[in-house]
Each structure stands twice: as structure tokens, then as C-alpha cells.
Amino acid sequence: MKQKRVLSGVQPTGALHLGNWLGAIKNWVDLQHQHDTFFCVVDLHAITVPQDVKTLSENTLSTAAMYIACGIDPKKSSIFIQSHISAHCELCWILNCLTPINWMERMIQFKEKALKQGDNVSIGLFDYPVLMAADILLYQPDLVPVGEDQKQHLELARNIAQQRINSRFGKDKENLLKIPDALIMKQGAKVMSLNDGRNKMSKSDPNANSRITLLDPPDLILKKIKKAKTDQFIGLEFNNPDRPEADNLLNIYSILSNKSKEASYEECKEMGWGMFKPLLAELVIDSLKPIQSQYKELMDDKEGLGNIIKSGNEKANEISSLTLQKIKDAIGLINKL
């Protein structure tokens, strides 16, 4: 049977955090054993908001290294950099010309991010979901593993592919583009901020104590968890709408300890915060230890990392250029003479 293809990506906008890992990358690691997997560092998405030049290039390499440190095996998966594959921008332009503005005006993440940018909102930020659609559709994937917050963007990509490309340009009901499915984890799809269990953990939160990054040293992890918002109740529990922090931290505990939700609840239902927090901190520290030491080794061998990316880029280029040519032909852009 033909392997299903999987494509996903993370923006290199800062150290990856527990949400990126538990909501997306952890899922990628499992998928790579049975699927044809492509993981992109989406640097062109990062520049939709202002970035420091040096930090962006460092973050791009370190995000690729972090994929591998989290368990992405370069022998099984292609790891590549978005800006190295020009087909992303080319298809984005074509899709721009086919996507109605009012579809874009509904994008919740744009509205949230635009608010933070004040007067400095770029066209790129508005267009971000179309670039994401291009990222995805170029690889004709079956599955796109992402966190809950990307659901709307995935829906847009599906609508563009179906309504604007396949149904308009596909001859004899031919599907020019595959309609991919979002793959969202049952647990971990929305890891919440440590400061406020009603907001998601985010790289752009100005308060660094709101997130645990995958590179935080043990003492900092302990400090952040000790400072995390709590409530006046004793005992951890899931799904109590008045206790989002308890739900979030118990969820993290359950995922990292590989214990079911029921078992985690049984274990922690009578624990006070003073007992639970050090237990959680130790678990997070132990879970991140192997990732951090592998990350360090990878970053100490930039040449090796560069070779991994080069070979990922080659594979990405092969597949994406075929799709791009197919779409160009279908819409009437003539081939080079």
C-alpha cells in the first residue's frame, strides 16, 4: 500500500516550547515510522512580523536541530527550510490571485496578531494563511499534524484547493491538489499558558514565565512551575471549567508520564499544589534532558546539520516543483520556451 504523506512546520520565532512539542512535534515523531514525512522550518512565516536579522538566522538552524533532538530521524523524514524552496512563494502568488479577500478576513489568528502589531501590520501577516496553504498543497500531503490553533488555516487550505483549484481547473474531475486532513492530538493540542489557563502557551507572550521552552535549564523549569498560577482548591482534576490551570498542568503531567488521564487523576486527585508542582517540575526536567543534550550535540556540528537540511531541501524541491508545474500548466501559464 502507498504510504500516506505528512507535512508540517514550525516558525523559527524563538525557542520552541512545551506546546509546540506536545501539540505538534511529538505527533510528527510517531508518524514518521509509517508515513512519508516532510517537516519544514517556516522562516518566511516568521518575517510576517518584525524579526532581528541575526536572531532569525540562528533560530532557523536551531529549530531544525530541535526537530531532530525531539526525535525526528533525518533518515526517515525530510527536514527543510521554507525559504530555500522557491515554489512556496510562487504557488502563494497564484493562490493569492484565486483566494477571495473575505475568506481571509475571517482568520482569527490574523486579527489577534494584528492587534499586537498596532500600526505596523504587514500585507504578509494578512497573507500568511495563503502562504501556509501553499506550503501544504505543494507536497500533496494526506495529513497535516498541527495544534488546535491551526485548524482554521487548514480549513482555508482545503477550501482553496477544492473550490479554487480542483473544481475550476481540474479537467474531467481530476483532482490537481490533494485535500489534506488536519491531524490534531487528543491530548496536547492546546497547551495553556502557565500564567493563565484560559490562554494558550505562546512564543510571543511577553512574559517568559508563561511558557517552558525546550531549552530551559532545570532550575528555571522548577522556578516557572512554582510560580505558575494556581487556585485555592486541593487536588488536581480535569475539565472543571472553574479550574483551567489544574486541567492544563494535569494534562501536561499525564502526557509526559505516559499515564492515562484516569490514572493521572487517581494519582493526583488529593494532592495539594505544594506536592504536585515539584512532581511535575521533576517530570518536565527529566523529559527534556535527553532533548537538550541531543540538541547541544547537533548545534556543535553545524556541518552535519547543514548536510541534513541540504538533503531535505533536495527532496522537498523535487516534489514541490512537480506540483507547481502541474498548477502552472492547469491555469495557463506557459512553460519556458
Residues in contact with ligand TYM by CB under 6 A are 7-11, 19-20, 23-24, 42, 45, 132, 135-136, 144, 146-147, 149-150, 153, 189-191, 200-201
Given the complex with ligand TYM, which of 71 and 304 has the nearer CB atom? 71
The distance of closest approach from Cβ of residue 121 to ligand TYM in the complex, given in angstroms and rounded to an integer, is 16
CB-nearest residue to ligand TYM: 23
- For the beta sheet containing 36-41, the strands, ordered from the edge strand earlier in sequence to the opposite edge, are 77-81, 36-41, 5-10, 143-145, 181-183
**Which amino acid would we find at residue 161?**
A
Nearer to ligand TYM, 74 or 141 (CB): 141
Cell reading at 147: 495544534
Q: How far is the CB of 272 from ligand TYM (least distance, A)?
A: 26
Closest approach of ligand TYM to the CB of residue 63, in Å: 9
CB of 274 to ligand TYM, least distance (A): 26
Least Cβ distance, residue 242 to ligand TYM (angstroms): 21
For residues 10 and 225, which CB has a smaller minimum distance to ligand TYM in the complex?
A: 10
Measured CA to CA, the distance from residue 19 to residue 24 in angstroms comes to: 8
Smaller CB separation from ligand TYM, 25 or 222 = 25
- Catalytic amino acids? 113, 200, 203
Nearest to ligand TYM of 55, 235 (CB atom) = 55
